Amino acid sequence: MRLSFLDLLPVASGGNAAEVIRSAATVAQAAEAAGFVRYWVAEHHNMPSIASAVPDILIAHVAALTSRIRVGAGGVMLPNHAPLRIVEAFRTLEALHPGRIDLGLGRAPGTDAVTSAALRRGAGDDPNERLAELLAFEQGTFPESHPFRQITPTPAGVSLPPIWMLGSTTAGAAIGASLGVRYAFAGHFAMRNAQAAFAVYRSRFQPSTSLAEPYAMVAVTVICGEDDAHAARLAAPVRLAIARSLTGQRQPIATEAEALAHQFTPEEEAAASSFLEGAIVGGPERVRDGLHRLIQETGADEVMISMLLPDLNDRLASLGRIAAAVRVSQTAPGTSPSRPPATP
């Protein structure tokens, strides 16, 4: 089983966001030692419970302190950035750490409307247009008459790392398929759409120069405790954090004691249950069976673990239990025993 890790850099109540950011390398090193294929960081803004806002800086830091694991963005949100800036940032990362960087691209802003405005989104700007512009910069395919035709992204002579299209619906799957790029499905908050999205991606996939066959990854929330009861206790702050966030109560993640004592309103309960649909929470045996079942149901080539546990030691311990519960494969990413190797 090929496993990867999505680190949301969760911030606990009374915690220090700066310390959480500095701990990213520790988590990545643990994932690398456990045989995980890749370590990704997300882009979220104006969320006190999450410290990950600037993926490219985090990637540079983590990649410098690891040696094998691929490090990437899950993802860079297209509405928030000029396409040329993305191309130049990730070419620079690829130049610094050749063959170890991933570029996941999302079409949502990863935040609320007011914060989106503060990030300088252009009025009426279409993320699909930004995606097309990014690809034109990378491939040098602007028309002769286009003013950007004269721009050479820096550093020249360095290609972008592998592109992944992110998505939580069939729309992202269709775009990824049409471009012939890798696809990562956000099952850690939208698992109900997984099978339909994967079906669209695989049925519509168009081979490209970078990828001959479809390659899909599913993200899923996994919390692995010493046993099922321990896992349920660990998951309590996660459920409360999600419920609060989705009902407009943005704050750092509660302690376990506070979360266990909290009386959920019907609205909070519905929000947490919907977001965590498909989550795998339990002891090692339950987690192992859940991961195998997820792969069987989706046909995913790779699974990306997300856990949002606010305590670093709990996060590391859960990661270790997951690795021990399943047979982690370090096969070159983008390959499987039944198909020829592809570019990672």
pLDDT tens digits for 153-188?
999 999 999 999 999 999 999 999 999 999 999 999
pTM above 0.95, yes or no: no
Tell me the domain boundaries of the chain: 3-223+303-325
Looking up tokens 């540079």, which residue turns up?
A: 60
pLDDT at 211: 97
Q: What is the share, in percent, of the chain residues with pLDDT greater than 70? A: 94
Peptide bond into 106 cis (omega under 30): no
Helices (H), the chain: 17-22, 24-33, 55-64, 83-96, 113-118, 127-139, 170-179, 187-190, 194-204, 228-246, 256-261, 266-275, 284-298, 312-325
pLDDT in tens, 41-57: 999 999 999 999 999 99
pLDDT at 116: 83
Contacts of the segment 157-161: beta carbons below 8 A, 24+ positions apart: 158/91, 158/92, 158/94, 158/95, 159/91, 159/94, 160/87, 160/90, 160/91, 160/94, 160/103, 161/72, 161/90, 161/93, 161/94, 161/101, 161/102, 161/103
pLDDT at 18: 97
**Class of the domain covering 3-223+303-325:** alpha beta
Q: Which residues pair with 305 in a beta bridge?
A: 5, 220
Q: Which residues pair with 105 in a beta bridge?
A: 76, 165
* Run of H or E including 6: strand 3-7
Calpha distance 188→6 (Å, rounded)? 10
pLDDT at 333: 45
Under-50 pLDDT residues of the chain: 332-344
pLDDT at 121: 55
